Amino acid sequence: MLVWQTETAAGWREMVHPEWVGQIWAEQRCRLLETGPNAAQANVGALHLPHLDLVALRTDAVYSTTDPGWPDTSKVGQFRPQLRLGQAVPTPRCLDDLMALRSES
């Protein structure tokens, strides 16, 4: 059985904005590709890497075969290098392979 209840508090309707979540996800996806010239980290993102260097794009991470050399601004929400593998590894073909590489480093 499914029971549906509607919140009737007067302030609730002013607080419910599912479009805000869509806006946040859309902006994050754009920043994954490119931050733009006026951002704290100018011209950073997947579009600024050679396409052959890209391994994976995740929610907030770019996996690359080379160090992109992006400056670390130490600000929240900015791209920064986190993990580096010291040796050559096979290209991950699925999410499990990618996560295994991440946990090994």
pLDDT digits (tens, 9 = 90+) for 16-74: 788 888 888 888 888 888 887 767 777 888 998 898 888 888 888 888 888 888 888 78
In a domain, 1, yes or no: no
Q: Is the separation of the CB atoms in 81 and 72 below 8 Å?
A: yes
pLDDT at 9 over 70: no
Per the document, the length of the chain is: 105
Interior angle at CA 95, CA 99 and CA 35, nearest 5: 85
Q: Provide the token pair at 102.
A: 């991440």
pLDDT at 10 over 70: no
In a domain, 7, yes or no: no
In a domain, 6, yes or no: no
Rounded to whole angstroms, how far apart are CA atoms 35 and 43?
6
Question: DSSP strand E in the chain: where?
Answer: 54-58, 61-64
Mean pLDDT, range 66-91, rounded to an integer: 81
In a domain, 5, yes or no: no
Of the candidates 103, 101, 104, the residue with the CA atom closest to the CA atom of residue 91 = 101
Q: Which residue has the higher pLDDT, 7 or 68?
A: 68
Q: Which residue has the higher pLDDT, 9 or 22?
A: 22
In a domain, 82, yes or no: yes
Name residue 58's beta-bridge partners: 61
Mean pLDDT, range 70-86, rounded to an integer: 80
Which domain covers residue 93, as residue numbers? 12-104
What local confidence, expressed as pLDDT, does residue 7 receive? 62
Q: How many domains does the chain have?
A: 1
In a domain, 3, yes or no: no
What confidence tier does 96 reach under pLDDT thresholds 50, 70, 90? very high
